[in-house]
Homo-oligomer: A and B are copies of this chain.
Amino acid sequence: MSNRQLNWPTCYAHFQDHDVSLSEFDLIARYFTRPPQRAVLGVGDDCALIQPAPGMQLAISTDMLVEGCHFFSDLNPQHLGHKALAVNLSDLAACGAQPLAFTLALALPHSDATFLEPFARGLLRLADTHQCELIGGDTTRGPLTISITVFGEVPPGQALLRSGARAGDSLYVSGSLGDARLALDALRGQIHLSDSALAQARIALEQPQPRIALGLALRGLASSVIDLSDGLVGDLSQLLRRSQVGARVNVDALPIGAVLRSLSPAQQRQSALAGGDDYELLFTAAPHCAAQLPRIAAQTGVAITHIGQVEADAGLRLVDAQGQNLAEHYRSFDHFTP
């Protein structure tokens, strides 16, 4: 109970019956406490204080990662720190928001510099890349669990939503798909990859790059956006449901990850459609916007691939390059259609 509770701004265990030493949590303070940058007040009080820019809306997202569920116990702590923030920043990207700040709640079985130092390094390096300031948090003893809440700014009316896709819009995806899932399958022993292929695929799984610059560039251009965390079919189906439209996707047009390209065509399709952990942006845009996308791809350094069309009829139709319906091949996707 409270005697084992640590309020991170305080970094002190209750002095009775405490099961962690003060010095252990001084360690946490050392790795995570930095002077406030844009925040009015950072770590060290009951609350942090931020001053949103005048008139801006605040985009907020929260994600929780649990050891053994979202990541393997032997994941490099630096990569874990990166990924824990990356999956949250990916939500800001999908919203077209400029990252501002985040809070970190961390349950740890024990406080250990060999974990905390690289974890903080991976976390704060990505935070610095996107000028997203750690403003507060909480640490406690418990099964390794990381919960981050991230804040970004977006001008009123300019947030990118899942609900704006319209029939006739084109459907696009950033980057490439499926390598993260390949790494997961290989780490689980379900497929075999060479050492070098696995090393490359693990970068996709463990160090995804949130598409912040792309999300900002899509403001005022994309009609709807979602980030791909659970696999293209599942996430696209969410977008279609929220927009009350359907879509036709050319499975042969999907951008296949570099490692996945060495596998069979069937496996390529499967992993690209249903991989999960891609953290790319899936978006729709009116046809007249197409001319702007090459410039945006060049400016952001992120490939943008046209993969299908939004249609008025509800449901997701997977076709091949010849327009052949692939429904028979992907019956397991049925329950995702609206």
When chains A and B are docked, how far (Å) is the Cα of A237 from the Cα of B137?
Answer: 20
Q: Are B140 and A62 in contact (CB under 8 A)?
A: no
Q: Identify which of B1, B54, B105, B163 contacts A45 (C-beta below 8 A).
A: B163
Q: Are B92 and A180 in contact (CB under 8 A)?
A: no
Decide yes or no: A336 and B15 within 8 Å by CB, A40-B57, A159-B47, A163-B45 being known contacts: yes
Q: Are A66 and B143 in contact (CB under 8 A)?
A: yes
Decide yes or no: A62 and B149 within 8 Å by CB, A1-B276, A15-B333, A140-B69 being known contacts: yes
A247 to B: closest C-beta gap in Å: 17
A227 to B: closest C-beta gap in Å: 6
**Cβ–Cβ < 8 Å partners of A70 in chain B:** 1-2, 4-5, 140
Contact with B along A185-227 (1 / 0, CB 8 A): 0000000000000000000010000000000000000000111
Q: Are B55 and A231 in contact (CB under 8 A)?
A: no
Q: Identify which of B14, B54, B140, B231 contacts A230 (C-beta below 8 A).
A: B14
Q: Are A57 and B49 in contact (CB under 8 A)?
A: yes
Q: Determine if A324 is an interface residue (Cβ-Cβ < 8 Å).
A: no
Decide yes or no: A107 and B5 within 8 Å by CB, A55-B54, A234-B15 being known contacts: no
Contact with B along A67-108 (1 / 0, CB 8 A): 011111000000000000000000110110100010111110
When chains A and B are docked, how far (Å) is the Cα of A233 from the Cα of B15?
Answer: 9
Q: Identify which of B54, B101, B149 contacts A103 (C-beta below 8 A).
A: B149
**Cβ–Cβ < 8 Å partners of A230 in chain B:** 2-3, 5, 7, 10, 12-15
18 additional contacts, CB 8 Å, given A60-B135, A61-B103?
A1-B276, A2-B184, A7-B229, A14-B230, A14-B231, A15-B230, A15-B335, A16-B332, A40-B156, A46-B61, A46-B92, A47-B95, A48-B61, A60-B136, A62-B136, A64-B106, A65-B140, A105-B149
